Amino acid sequence: MPRGLLGDYSNEPTRWSKLMTNQQHPFNAEPPSFLLTENFITTSDSFFVRNHGAVPALDGDTHKVHITTLDQREVAVSLAELRTMGCPVTIEATLMCAENRRNELKAIAPVKGVGWNVGAVGNATWSGIRLRDVLLQVKADVDDPRLHVEFVGEDMCEEGGRYTVSIPMSKAGNAKGDVLLAWNMNGMALTRDHGFPLRLIVPGYVAARSVKWLKRINILTSQSPSHFQQQQYKLFPQFVNWTTIDKHWNSIAPLSELSIQSAICLPADNTYIAKGSPYTIEGYAISNGRRITRVDVSLNCGHSWQCAEIISQDDKEEKGYDNRYWSWTLWKFHIEKMPSPCSVSCRAWDEASNTQPESARTIWNLRGLMNNAWHTLHLSPYATYVEPALHFCGGVHSYGAQPPISPLPPQEADEVGLPLPYVPLRKSAEEVRVAS
C-alpha cells in the first residue's frame, strides 16, 4: 500500500514524548495543560495533533497543488511557483479543534469521537501566501459571496475518503480574512504532523477548516458535498440522536467561526497544593478574531467573580490585516492563600460582550463539539502525613453537577486573600517574551 494511505501506519513521524496520546491510530494527542501557558507561541513539538488517518510522506520538491476554477480549468502549481504568486505573509493565529474539552461532554452522556481535555489548541506563527492572491491569479471571482472554495488533503481518512472541506468565498477571498496557504510554522518548515509541505490556515475558524497536506483547491457554487463538511463537523440540537440524525444532516450548517472560549491550564488535573499557600492560576482565552477584554475567575461556583490579569500581544503589527485578534490571550490570577474547599471557574468576555455559557449540560450534543461552558476545577482536601494538601479534580465536573465538596461561600472571600476588583493589566509582547 502506498505511504500515507488508509491503514498504513508504518511510516508515522517521530513525536514529542510529553504529548498525551488520546488515540494511537490515527494519531491524536495534546500537550499537558500546564505546558500551554509556558509560552505565548506554542512550539511545533508541543502543538496538538489531530489526524483522521495515516500521515502522508510527501516530497516538497515535487509536490503540486491542483486548482480547478469554476469553468473547470485546472492549474497545477508547484511550491516554487506558488511562492511567486503573491507577497510572502506571516501571521500569528491560534488553531483550536472543535472537539476541544470534549471529555466534559462525555461525562454528561456518551458522545462519538476521540476524547480531548483542554489541550486541543495552540498558538503559532504561520508563513506563506494569501489564498486571495492565488485565487486572483487563476481569475476566480473573489467578490462573489455565493461561491465556495473546497480544499482536499493528501491524507486518506478512516471514514470519508480524503479529508475535504470548504469555506465560503466571503472568507477565502476576503483581503481581511488572512487565509493563508502556509509552508512554515514558527519560522521553520511545517512538520509532517502539521501538514508538510503545505497546509491551509483559516484564522478565526475551527481548526477542521485548516486542511493539512493540501492537494487540491476547487472553486464551487455550493459547499463541499464531502463527509467532513456535511456530517462530521456539525453542531446538532440536543434532541437529535443517532436514530433520528438522518433527518437532520441537511438542516444544520457546518461549523465555521470559533465561539468564545477560556480554560484553566494551571493547576492541571491531579495537582496537589499545600492548603493556605499562595498560588497562581493560569489559563488561556480565545475568540474568533475579536479582542478578549476580560477574563473572570470565581472560587465559589460563580457566586462572585474577580478579574484575572490579561497577558496578550497587543502590538499593532501583530494583529491581523484588519486589526483582528487571531491569537489567544493568556491570563493569570493570584491567590494569597489557597482556600479549601473551593471550585475554580473561569469565563472570558470579548469586545462584543460575548461570554461563555455557565453549564456544559445546556450545550451537550451527540458529537461532543464546541464545548465553551465555564471551565471549572474542584478543589478537595487531601490529607497527607506531612501537611494538609489540596487536590484539584479534573474539569469534567464543570457540566453543572454538584462538586464533591461544598463551594466557598461568597462572604468568606476576603478571609482567603482574594483581591478586590481591579482593571485587568495588559502586557506588551516584549514583556511576555522577557517573562517567558
Instruction: Give 260-304 pLDDT, tens digit per residue.
Output: 999 999 998 778 888 788 999 999 999 999 999 999 999 998 999
pLDDT at 428 over 90: no
Q: SS3 of 181, please?
A: strand
pLDDT at 421 (0 to 100): 32
Q: SS3 of 317, please?
A: helix
What is the value of pTM for the model shown?
0.88
CB within 8 Å of 256: residues ≥ 6 apart:
167, 168, 171, 205, 206, 209
Q: Which of 75-89, 130-144, 334-348, 421-435 has the lowest mean pLDDT?
A: 421-435
Interior angle at CA 196, CA 91 and CA 2, nearest 5:
160
Average pLDDT over residues 39-58: 97
Percent of the chain with pLDDT over 90: 76
Torsion of CA 167, 172, 173, 174, to 10 degrees: 110
pLDDT at 378 (0 to 100): 86
Q: How far is 163 from 151, CA to CA, in rounded Å? A: 8
Interior angle at CA 260, CA 255 and CA 261, nearest 5:
105
The full set of domains in the chain, from first to last, is 20-251 (3.90.420.10), 261-435 (2.60.40.650)
- Cβ-based burial of 2 (10 A; exposed 0-12, middle 13-18, buried ≥19): exposed
Q: Which of 160-164, 363-367, 391-395, 406-410 has the lowest mean pLDDT?
A: 406-410
**Mean predicted lDDT score pLDDT of the chain:** 87
Q: What is the DSSP letter of 352?
A: T
pLDDT at 324 over 90: no
Distances (CA, A) of 263 to 119, 338, 349: 9, 19, 13
- Cβ-based burial of 8 (10 A; exposed 0-12, middle 13-18, buried ≥19): middle
Half-sphere exposure of 371 (CA within 13 A, CB side): 34
Indicate the pairing of strand 426-427 with strand 329-335.
unpaired
The residue type of 162 is R
Q: Could you tell me where the DSSP H helices lie in 118-246?
A: 131-137, 169-172, 227
Average pLDDT over residues 17-46: 97
Q: How far is 265 from 268, CA to CA, in rounded Å? A: 6
Distances (CA, A) of 39 to 43, 178, 182, 359: 8, 23, 22, 29
Task: For residue 101, give the nearest of 397, 411, 409, 423 by alpha carbon.
Answer: 397
User: CB count, 10 Å around CB of 20?
Assistant: 14
Distances (CA, A) of 275 to 21, 41, 338, 379, 395: 32, 32, 6, 10, 20
pLDDT at 364 over 80: yes
Task: For residue 287, give the nearest of 313, 262, 253 by alpha carbon.
Answer: 262
pLDDT at 381 (0 to 100): 72
- Maximal C-alpha separation, the chain: 75
Q: How far is 163 from 224, CA to CA, in rounded Å? A: 11
Segments of 173-291 assigned E as strands: 180-185, 188-189, 199-201, 214-220, 261-266, 272-274, 279-286
Q: Hey, which residues does 300 pair with through a beta bridge?
A: 343
Interior angle at CA 99, CA 320 and CA 305, nearest 5:
75
Average pLDDT over residues 72-90: 97
pLDDT at 158 (0 to 100): 81
Indicate the pairing of strand 74-78 with strand 64-68.
antiparallel
Backbone conformation region of residue 227, classed left if phi is above 0, alpha if psi is from -120 to 50, else beta: alpha
